[in-house]
């Protein structure tokens, strides 16, 4: 199968993630969309590694997984704290800071 | 695919000692948090933090003149990297002093006694009452500093991404740990985190496209691929654009600036000061390296894009700052405008542009950290008096602090005899030399607009009657005093005798490829 299809798929996944961040209102969903974007980048790295014929892209994908896991820890800590304070994970509600 | 023997990378441990020291101390600091008794924890952490920063600074100074690429080309220690390391370490030291302050607030520390406790709960009240303060801010602080050091020395996109996250993740948490106004603080942490993660995804996707274009993630490798391939194609341009978006987010350039005011306002002032100064330096260091080393060959493609962003950044920052009523928010927009001015040095794409940007970053860093030190001292009953109206008449009730703050404002506005003037002059001159005269004219107009709101604060402090509920200046401990004194000294000295630092940044040379 032509590997460039995977690049297309990764672009689609990345766009879905980016749109998700912009339109969804629940912090958890927004966060999941960000993770989708990171994984789209991973797919693209692995595919390009195949196309370029070297292993750099696959190594990058492993590092990204570790970083994404660390990001989940930090992100959930912040979101859970907000949720406990406000009983809601909506990103529209906390709006004390504006203008 | 090559499936040969494994060759361990050659690492020049001495050259990267500053990173290793800070990183090692951060790990040690986590252990201290776990195993040292509650009362001894704070002094031990402070000794570790300040000691490690000083030792790292010693290693940076002792290897001035080192120009080497190490760790299989992943890390590069060259002139700009060393200058940025020095600046980052000194400013982190001042930031640490602000964060260690505990006499300004009657209830003690800058940070929440227990960040995980519900604001206003019994749990939180008891923790505060007994003075059981968690000191987890220090390991977070050190991890963040080590990420910054790695970020400005990273020579490939993978390491740059990892460093970006190591730098940012602890900052997201630190932003949410204020003792006062915890809802604001938590909200700023959430916004910072979501937008920060969003932008680093852009950075990563851009990196993957560049990898697809060039078959490597190393910056010099990308530059080689650009010069080797006759047609550039969409992969390169799109990848570069996405990568730069991720970096521009960190420097707070318009239209990627939305997080800046919220985070600057919501985060504890000590953290804001530290972050405003050091993240800007680290992010611009990385941006300069990417632009000069990897994309130097296609500067005609990225210059128009940065032109537009620089002009937008300068004007939006300056104009929106005019109408702010909160001093921290005003300084946030001011920092956005300053990013626009520093981008002139990036656009210049020359050795002069590089050294002028370095000088600007250092001058800006000291001015900003000093300004936030003053903000943390000016207080009302409910904590810091961040509302501008409370600052009315402050110059008359407390002349020293008023004068010090006026110096910082004048420096940020770029008035002669302060570091800000020399810095602005440098980037403008570099941009003119590279033929960007129209951009400089726009920048001059923007800096005139910016001067309005800086001077407005001075007028407010000196020529207005004190407010009904005037702010008072709390007496700080030695920590804040040292940070403030360092900030104001550097700002004035660099304004009067900038020569030594100008020579230093000129000798820093260009990026090693």
pLDDT at residue number B1: 47
Domain for residue B29, yes or no? yes
Residue B510 has pLDDT above 60, yes or no: yes
Mean pLDDT of B96-112: 84
Domain for residue B48, yes or no? yes
- Give buried/exposed letters for B344-370 (b at 16+ CB in 10 A, else e): bbbbbbbebbbbbbbbbbbbbbbbbbb
Q: What is the ipTM of this complex?
A: 0.95
Say yes or no: A20 contacts chain B, CB-CB below 8 A.
no
Higher-pLDDT residue of B178 and B213 is: B213
User: The whole model's pTM is what?
Assistant: 0.95
Contact B208 A96 (CB under 8 A): no
Mean pLDDT of B106-120: 78
Contact B211 A60 (CB under 8 A): yes
Would you give the end-to-end CA distance of chain B in angstroms?
Answer: 26
pLDDT at residue number B106: 76
Domain for residue B315, yes or no? yes
- CA B357, B360, B366, B372: dihedral to nearest 10 degrees? -100
- Lowest-confidence region among B101-110, B274-283, B318-327, B384-393: B101-110
| Selected residue of A34, A54, A86, A89 to mutate for chain B interface (largest B Cβ count, 10 A) | A34
Domain for residue B7, yes or no? no
Environment class of B122 (CB within 10 Å of its CB; exposed 0-12, middle 13-18, buried 19+): exposed
Model confidence at A99, pLDDT cuts 50, 70, 90, reads: low
Nearest by CB: B194 against A31, A37, A48: A31
pLDDT in tens, B139-165: 999 999 999 999 999 999 999 999 999
> Distance (Å) from the C-alpha of residue B121 to the closest C-alpha of chain A?
10
Contact B186 A85 (CB under 8 A): yes
Cβ-based contacts of B1 with chain A (< 8 Å): 53-55
Number of domains, chain B: 1
Residue B2 has pLDDT above 60, yes or no: no
Backbone angles phi, psi at B156, to 5 degrees: -135, 160
Residue A91 has pLDDT above 80, yes or no: no
pLDDT at residue number B299: 87
Residue of A nearest to B202 (CA): A37
Q: What is the mean pLDDT of chain A?
A: 90
Widest Cα–Cα separation across chain B:
78
Mean pLDDT of A57-79: 95
Residue A98 has pLDDT above 70, yes or no: no
pLDDT in tens, B437-466: 999 999 999 999 999 999 999 999 999 888
> Distance (Å) from the C-alpha of residue A88 to the closest C-alpha of chain B?
12
Higher-pLDDT residue of B347 and B115 is: B347
| Selected residue of A49, A55, A56 to mutate for chain B interface (largest B Cβ count, 10 A) | A56
Domain for residue B407, yes or no? yes
Cβ-based contacts of A52 with chain B (< 8 Å): 211-212, 215
Mean pLDDT of B464-483: 86
Model confidence at A51, pLDDT cuts 50, 70, 90, reads: very high
Cβ-based contacts of A44 with chain B (< 8 Å): 205, 208-209, 212
Say yes or no: A88 contacts chain B, CB-CB below 8 A.
no
Q: For residue B4, give every residue at least 6 positions away whose Cβ sits within 8 Å of its Cβ, in sequence order, or none.
A: none
Say yes or no: A74 contacts chain B, CB-CB below 8 A.
yes
Nearest by CB: A41 against B169, B205, B217: B205
Residue B261 has pLDDT above 90, yes or no: yes
Domain for residue B12, yes or no? no
If phi > 0 it is left, if psi is from -120 to 50 it is alpha, else beta; for residue B254 that is: beta
C-alpha span between B109 and B466 (Å, rounded): 29
Residue of B nearest to A87 (CA): B118
Q: What is the DSSP string of B215-226?
A: S--BHHHHHHHH
Mean pLDDT of B271-298: 94
Query: Which domain range does residue B476 map to?
Result: 17-506
Say yes or no: A13 contacts chain B, CB-CB below 8 A.
no
> Distance (Å) from the C-alpha of residue A5 to the closest C-alpha of chain B?
14
Contact A96 B211 (CB under 8 A): no
Mean pLDDT of B114-128: 79
Residue B3 has pLDDT above 50, yes or no: yes
Residue B469 has pLDDT above 80, yes or no: no
Domain for residue B5, yes or no? no
Quick one: what percent of chain B has pLDDT higher than 70? 99
C-alpha span between B362 and B284 (Å, rounded): 11
Q: Cα B402 to the chain's mean position, in Å?
A: 25
C-alpha span between B151 and B81 (Å, rounded): 9
Domain for residue B11, yes or no? no
């Amino acid at each position: 199968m032509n590997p460039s299809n995977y690049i297309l798929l990764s672009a689609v996944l990345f766009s879905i993630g980016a749109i998700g961040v912009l339109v969804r209102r629940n912090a958890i969903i927004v966060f999941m969309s960000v993770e989708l974007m990171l994984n789209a980048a991973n797919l693209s790295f692995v595919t390009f590694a195949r196309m370029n014929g070297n292993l750099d892209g696959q190594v990058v994908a492993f590092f990204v997984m570790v970083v994404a896991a660390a990001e989940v820890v930090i992100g959930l800590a912040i979101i859970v704290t907000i949720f406990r304070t406000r009983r809601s994970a909506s990103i529209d509600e906390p709006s004390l800071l504006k203008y | 695919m090559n499936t040969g023997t494994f060759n361990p990378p050659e690492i020049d441990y001495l050259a990267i000692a500053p990173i290793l020291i800070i990183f090692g101390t951060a790990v040690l600091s986590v252990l201290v948090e776990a195993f040292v008794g509650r009362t001894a924890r704070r002094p031990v952490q402070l000794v570790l933090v300040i000691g490690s920063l000083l030792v790292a600074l010693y290693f940076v100074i002792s290897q001035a003149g080192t120009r080497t690429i190490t760790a299989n080309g992943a890390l590069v220690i060259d002139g700009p990297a060393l200058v940025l390391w020095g600046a980052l370490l000194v400013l982190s030291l001042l930031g640490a002093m602000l964060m260690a302050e505990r006499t300004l607030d009657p209830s003690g520390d800058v940070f929440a006694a227990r960040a995980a406790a519900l604001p206003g709960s019994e749990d939180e009240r008891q923790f505060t009452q007994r003075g059981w303060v968690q000191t987890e801010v220090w390991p977070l602080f050190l991890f963040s500093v080590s990420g910054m050091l790695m970020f400005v020395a990273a020579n490939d996109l993978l390491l740059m991404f990892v460093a970006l996250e190591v730098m940012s993740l602890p900052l997201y948490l630190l932003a949410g740990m204020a003792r006062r106004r915890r809802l604001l603080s938590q909200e700023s942490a959430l916004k910072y985190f979501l937008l920060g993660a969003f932008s680093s995804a852009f950075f990563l996707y851009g990196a993957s496209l560049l990898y697809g274009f060039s078959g490597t993630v190393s910056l010099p490798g990308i530059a080689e691929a650009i010069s080797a391939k006759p047609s550039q194609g969409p992969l390169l341009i799109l990848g570069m654009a996405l990568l730069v978006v991720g970096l521009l987010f960190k420097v707070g350039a318009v239209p990627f600036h939305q997080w800046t005011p919220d985070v600057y306002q919501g985060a504890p002032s000590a953290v804001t000061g530290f972050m405003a100064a050091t993240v800007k330096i680290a992010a611009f260091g990385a941006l300069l390296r990417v632009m000069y080393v990897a994309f130097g060959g296609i500067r005609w493609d990225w210059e128009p894009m940065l032109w537009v962003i620089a002009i937008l950044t300068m004007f939006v920052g300056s104009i929106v700052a005019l109408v702010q009523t909160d001093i921290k928010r005003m300084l946030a927009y001011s920092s956005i405008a300053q990013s626009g001015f520093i981008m002139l040095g990036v656009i210049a794409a020359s050795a002069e542009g590089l050294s002028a940007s370095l000088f600007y970053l250092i001058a800006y860093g000291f001015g900003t950290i000093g300004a936030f030190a003053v903000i943390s001292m000016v207080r009302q009953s409910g904590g810091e008096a961040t509302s501008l109206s409370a600052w009315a008449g402050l110059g008359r009730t407390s002349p020293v602090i008023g004068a010090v703050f006026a110096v910082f404002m004048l420096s940020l506005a770029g008035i002669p005899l302060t570091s800000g003037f020399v810095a602005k002059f440098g980037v403008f001159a570099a941009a003119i030399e590279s033929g960007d005269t129209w951009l400089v004219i726009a920048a001059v107009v923007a800096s005139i607009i910016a001067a309005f709101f800086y001077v407005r604060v001075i007028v407010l402090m000196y020529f207005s009657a004190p407010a009904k509920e005037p702010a008072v200046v709390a007496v700080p401990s030695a920590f804040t005093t040292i940070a403030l004194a360092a900030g104001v000294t550097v700002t004035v000295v660099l304004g009067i005798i900038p020569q030594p630092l100008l020579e230093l940044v000129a000798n820093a040379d260009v990026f090693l490829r």
